Amino acid sequence: MPTLFDSTVAGVGRIGPNRELKKALEKFWADPSTGRELSATAQRLTRELSENLGKNGLSSIAHAGRSYYDAVHDVTALLGLFPQRVRVFADHTIDDGLPGHIDRYFAAARGAQGIPALAMTKWFDTNYHYLVPELSSVSQPELDAEWFVADIADAVAVEPRIRPVLVGPITYLALARTTDGSCPFELLDAVVDCYAELITRLAATGVGWIQLDEPILATDIDADPERAGAIGGKAEKTYRRLAAALHDSHPDTGLVVQTYFGDGNAAVELLQDTGIDALGVDLVTYRTDERCSAGEKTSPEQLLPAWKGGIGIVAGVVDGRNIWRTDLSDALEVIEALKSRGEVAVSTSASLLHVPYTLAGDSSFDTDPELKSWLAFGAEKAGEVAVLARLAAGESSAELEAAVQESTAARASRTNSGRTHSATVRSRVAAVTDSDRTRQPWQVRRSAQKTSVPLPPLATTTIGSFPQTSQIRQARAAHRNGKIDDRAYREAMEKEIADCIARQEELGLDVLVHGEAERNDMVQYFSEQLHGYHATANGWVQSYGSRCVRPPILYGDIVRPEAMTVDWFAFAQSLTDKPVKGMLTGPVTMLAWSFVRDDQPLGDTADQVALVLRDEIADLVAAGAKIIQVDEPAIRELLPLVKDRKGDYLAWSVGSFRLATGGAAPETQIHTHMCYSEFNELIDAIDDLDADVTSIEAARNGMQVLAAVKDHGYSRGIGPGVWDIHSPRVPDRGEVDELVDAALESVPAEALWINPDCGLKTRGWEETTASLEVLVAAAQAARDRLQ
């Protein structure tokens, strides 16, 4: 029996503390002769990470191998399950240290000439995206593991504590899609054969432990019987086989199954008798009544009721996906309570992939040591784990005592700070009533808006952003670096806005936008202007592939010192007689794409954001706005993974949108936008938002979402996207005509809007102009047909 390590982190990022992998990847994609540099960078990053974790004193060190894009995609590579269409790429035989399949790997990840990429989607309820495996009943998994095993063998020779981490077979198949409608689990036996061989080979490199990640086991695994079937039963059988395969050949190597993002108790119940050695559980996410809440915590004694003590528990007590410093005394209580029942290791609740590498050297904190003292990024979290493990082992020293005291003091300073608790903000939130969240009935609004914004049926508009040209990005960068002053910057942006308005008039769109040239990002732009929010200098987190985001930190009560968008709007509106939409980011999206305070319920924080948006709407209306769009692309992303939490979530998220928009008079037309098409589950909630017009993604699946809209009896304006902006292709007229006709079957002409799927900031002007010409012409032709 392997003995359990006492401290670790659940997983690590791949992008590098200064986005080194991003830079090497983009260089390689532009110039394939730089493969040596790419493989060396990946190797150096994993080695440095292991060294740093090792220095902290962790007794087991998560190691993802040299991963070049995404961990799910790494498994696709290991199992030789790339889609058929990338097999045109032969093995990469250049001796540059990259795996033989690397050209297929990148072609499947990013697409290539004539070859569409794999679908990409959000990893559970995070903002990280994985590549969706594309399988069919004739897929034949075949292990291609030399590259990975060799990597681990090299790493373990330098650092014997490393523990290879891979996405496990159940989660892999549960997240896969098939092209022939078959169930991905038909491949389970063959896939498990590959895993059995793989873990045996990994054990032969001398590693003490191997980790398979199964986050799917912490969601409602049996909630969708059709797709998931009895995932539980499959998981149990699978891990019996894998544990036996490993232990027959390597009885001293441990197998740990890691869950996260939900309650691990079901996984414990399922897997504790299968022969695995330990199970990793998230003891942060749902220890309170919602993710990220200061509510009553489950008492340490009541955690993991199913655990009988026969296997070890890797206890995720340090939050792996948020950036707050851990309350060490509270975490220690959990560890101690569990320790009285069996073997326990201290860990993070999730992979450190989701948080920036380190606070050290982030210049944004130079002038704000107070905020810095409240936080822990990846490296600091590893330090917290190490401290907890030593405390749990009974060690006592002045250093450890000081660490606990500092953590308590940081918490107290946060609780008592005027920056986190403003009496004015709090009394305003406390005074909110239902009527603040309620506009006049739709009938009243509809007739008021007929006069305030007279529009033809099938009105045309866009979602907000127009191409972010390099000229725009350069002007923003020059302003940020002080190379141009405020006035020169304003002039540069006004020139862009004027150009954008002129082009829209030329195109003949009915409702115009200013184009969002001044916005680096739809959340960051607002966060930089609000008190209670902090933007880091180097807090990068991988979003997908080489794309990284720098989520701002929402740490305190939200105050809007002045209007945030009114000048740009007013300038744009002054240039045209057509209505220009005011553009805002909704409260839920502001939260979803930030690191959010964990000392109060998310709903309270969302209401604070809603109130500043409400004030912004009032200011926009005063400046002449007739139409205001409040984007909520992330409403679905934050939806809890377990059924019994969904109702609460929908109540506060919808409530915050209604609070933001509830002050708008009947003649102000409120739009919202969401960019996904799996609408069905949320249709009631979307109806409850009570927006006058909702634009949604629809082009890619041929308007299927409208069936749900029709069944629901949705009566207000709706704009199903008729141009899939995620592709650079200009749609043909015939295609758009068909989509418009399909839409007209479910939506009356008066309620139907014609618009693209999403914002256009990633597109170029050429395809944008050509596509919008098609869209406007299709709308006009449909109006003519209707008469």
3-state DSSP call for residue 629? strand
Minimum distance between the CB of residue 221 and Zn ion, rounded to whole angstroms?
A: 30
Cα(659)–Cα(59) distance, integer angstroms: 49
Q: What residues contact 115, with CB distance under 8 A and at least 6 apart? A: 85, 86, 88, 107
Structure tokens at 237: 């059988």
Q: Binds 465, which of ligand GLN, Zn ion, none (CB < 5 to 8 A, cut-off by type)?
A: ligand GLN
In the bound state with ligand GLN, the residue whose beta carbon lies nearer, of 320 and 464, is 464
Minimum distance between the CB of residue 705 and ligand GLN, rounded to whole angstroms?
A: 15
Q: Binds 255, which of ligand GLN, Zn ion, none (CB < 5 to 8 A, cut-off by type)?
A: none
Place of tokens 């409240």: 374
Minimum distance between the CB of residue 755 and ligand GLN, rounded to whole angstroms?
A: 10
Q: Binds 522, which of Zn ion, ligand GLN, none (CB < 5 to 8 A, cut-off by type)?
A: ligand GLN
- In one letter, which amino acid is 330? D
In the bound state with Zn ion, the residue whose beta carbon lies nearer, of 347 and 755, is 755
Q: Binds 376, which of Zn ion, ligand GLN, none (CB < 5 to 8 A, cut-off by type)?
A: none
Q: In what order do the strands lie in the sheet with 693-696?
A: 581-585, 627-631, 669-674, 693-696, 717-720
Taking CA atoms, 263 is separated from 222, 266, 470, 743, in Å, by 14, 7, 45, 41
In the bound state with ligand GLN, the residue whose beta carbon lies nearer, of 161 and 761, is 761
- Give the 3-state secondary structure of 403-440: HHHHHHHHHHHHHHCCCCCCHHHHHHHHCCCHHHHCCC
Residue nearest to Zn ion (CB): 675
- Beta bridge partners, 580, equal 512
Among 421, 531, 712, 726, the one annotated catalytic: 726
In the bound state with ligand GLN, the residue whose beta carbon lies nearer, of 133 and 759, is 759
Closest CA to 304 of 275, 274, 277, 344: 344
712 is catalytic: no
x/- letters, 757..786, toward Zn ion (CB under 5 A): -x----------------------------
Q: Binds 761, which of Zn ion, ligand GLN, none (CB < 5 to 8 A, cut-off by type)?
A: ligand GLN
Query: In 176-193, which positions are buried (b, 16+ CB within 10 angstroms) versus exposed (e)?
Result: bebeeeebbbbbbeebbb
Place of tokens 């892999």: 172
Specify the stretch interacting with Zn ion by CB under 5 A; choose among 28-36, 162-170, 626-634, 711-719: 626-634
In the bound state with Zn ion, the residue whose beta carbon lies nearer, of 272 and 755, is 755
| Binding-site annotation: residue ranges for 5-methyltetrahydropteroyltri-L-glutamate | 22, 127, 547-548, 593
Q: Binds 191, which of Zn ion, ligand GLN, none (CB < 5 to 8 A, cut-off by type)?
A: none
Backbone φ/ψ region at 290: left (φ over 0), alpha (ψ -120 to 50), beta: beta
Other CB atoms within a 10 A radius of the CB of residue 21 amount to 26
Q: Binds 372, which of ligand GLN, Zn ion, none (CB < 5 to 8 A, cut-off by type)?
A: none
Cα(69)–Cα(52) distance, integer angstroms: 22
Minimum distance between the CB of residue 466 and ligand GLN, rounded to whole angstroms?
A: 8
Cα(76)–Cα(83) distance, integer angstroms: 9
In the bound state with ligand GLN, the residue whose beta carbon lies nearer, of 103 and 692, is 692
In the bound state with ligand GLN, the residue whose beta carbon lies nearer, of 592 and 621, is 592
Place of tokens 């806005």: 497
- In one letter, which amino acid is 356? P
Residues at the interface with ligand GLN (CB under 6 A): 463-465, 516, 522, 583, 631, 633, 673, 675, 758-759, 761
Cα(122)–Cα(685) distance, integer angstroms: 21
| Binding-site annotation: residue ranges for L-homocysteine | 463-465, 631
Minimum distance between the CB of residue 471 and Zn ion, rounded to whole angstroms?
A: 24
Minimum distance between the CB of residue 452 and Zn ion, rounded to whole angstroms?
A: 26
Residue nearest to ligand GLN (CB): 759
Torsion over CA: 535, 537, 539, 542 (sign): positive
In the bound state with Zn ion, the residue whose beta carbon lies nearer, of 122 and 240, is 122
Footprint (CB under 5 A) of Zn ion, residues 637-696 = 675
| Binding-site annotation: residue ranges for L-methionine | 463-465, 516, 631
Specify the stretch interacting with Zn ion by CB under 5 A; choose among 132-140, 469-477, 629-637, 698-706: 629-637
Q: Give, as one character, the DSSP assignment of residue 581.
A: E
Side-chain-side CA neighbours of 532 within 13 Å: the count stands at 24
Minimum distance between the CB of residue 693 and Zn ion, rounded to whole angstroms?
A: 14
Longest dimension (CA), the chain: 84
Minimum distance between the CB of residue 497 and ligand GLN, rounded to whole angstroms?
A: 14
- In one letter, which amino acid is 630? V
| Binding-site annotation: residue ranges | 22, 127, 463-465, 516, 547-548, 593, 631, 673, 675, 688, 697, 758
Side-chain-side CA neighbours of 406 within 13 Å: the count stands at 15
Q: Which residues have a catalytic role annotated?
A: 726
Contact residues: Zn ion, CB under 5 A: 633, 675, 758
